[in-house]
Amino acid sequence: MTAPADNPPPKVDFGYEQVAAQEKAGRVRGVFDSVASKYDLMNDLMSGGMHRLWKRFTLGQTGLRPGQRALDVAGGTGDLALGMARQVGPTGKVILSDINWEMLSRGRDRLLDEGLAASISAVQANAEQLPFADASFDCVTIGFGLRNVTDKPKALASMRRVLKPGGRLLVLEFSHPVAGLKPFYDLYSFNVLPALGKLVAGDAASYRYLAESIRMFPDQPTLAGMMREAGLEDCRWHNLTGGVVALHVGCAY
């Protein structure tokens, strides 16, 4: 009698490739280790500076007041964390977190340069298992990071857990553009982005992964549904630049 085969490990997407779930975090880490030194420059080049407007719009939705607490998950080099630090002021607190040490260290150095190290702490953390107490923050943000998380529902539940009643989760992410933009967006994503990555960062493959991971990310209604399943309410989204990017907002009650 033949023994039954072991169950194969679950697969998740890494761009268009399917990999074992336990491998994805390491693969993503490799991408960001590679691009960390050119990350901010590449953001400006590949978005034509639009990422600054998307983040400014996001900061306008935080609802933060002086003295409150905020968490920026997968915060990288700290654009959203810096903005929220100015909103909560010297009596408030912002935590910048990222699973990738190369990105986090650059964000931490930037905080020092900006003179905001007293009101912002940098913590290396996995979005799926945030090391913070329940109901700790008035606002949690994740900008262009959820796409890279292995278990997105688990990460959303983790971020919901650390929100105070009345707090907001803001998910800023590349999304699904309106139909008329799609052919041009695909041409740009799969041709210009890898070429830029090779020229500026010496890494075309990481930016090809970026384009692929965007296509594999849930569309706007699906992500809103995932947020509701994680326990968030009043979930809605704002399409930016024709849906190339969307900001999803959910509230904790």
pLDDT, mean over the chain: 92
209 assigned to some structural domain? no
Query: Are 67 and 92 spatial neighbours (Cβ–Cβ below 8 Å)?
Result: yes
Q: What is the rounded average pLDDT of the residues 21-37?
A: 86
199 assigned to some structural domain? no
Predicted local confidence at residue 62, as pLDDT? 98
Global confidence as pTM: 0.92
Predicted local confidence at residue 3, as pLDDT? 47
Query: Using H for helix, E for strand and C for coil, what is the string for 225-249?
Result: HHHHHCCCEEEEEEEECCCCEEEEE
Query: Are 90 and 118 spatial neighbours (Cβ–Cβ below 8 Å)?
Result: yes
Which amino acid is it at 143? G
Range of the domain at 163: 11-15+36-175+219-251
Query: What is the CATH number for 72?
Result: 3.40.50.150
> Per-residue confidence at 5, pLDDT binned at 50, 70, 90?
low
- Least confident stretch, 6-15, 46-55, 56-65, 209-218: 6-15
69 assigned to some structural domain? yes
202 assigned to some structural domain? no
User: What whole-number distance in Å separates Cα of residue 70 and Cα of residue 78?
Assistant: 13
Predicted local confidence at residue 8, as pLDDT? 66
Number of domains in the chain: 1
SS3 180: helix
User: What whole-number distance in Å separates Cα of residue 94 and Cα of residue 201?
Assistant: 30
Predicted local confidence at residue 208, as pLDDT? 92
Beta bridge partners of 174: 245
82 assigned to some structural domain? yes
206 assigned to some structural domain? no
200 assigned to some structural domain? no
68 assigned to some structural domain? yes
Report residue 69 CA to chain centroid gap: 19
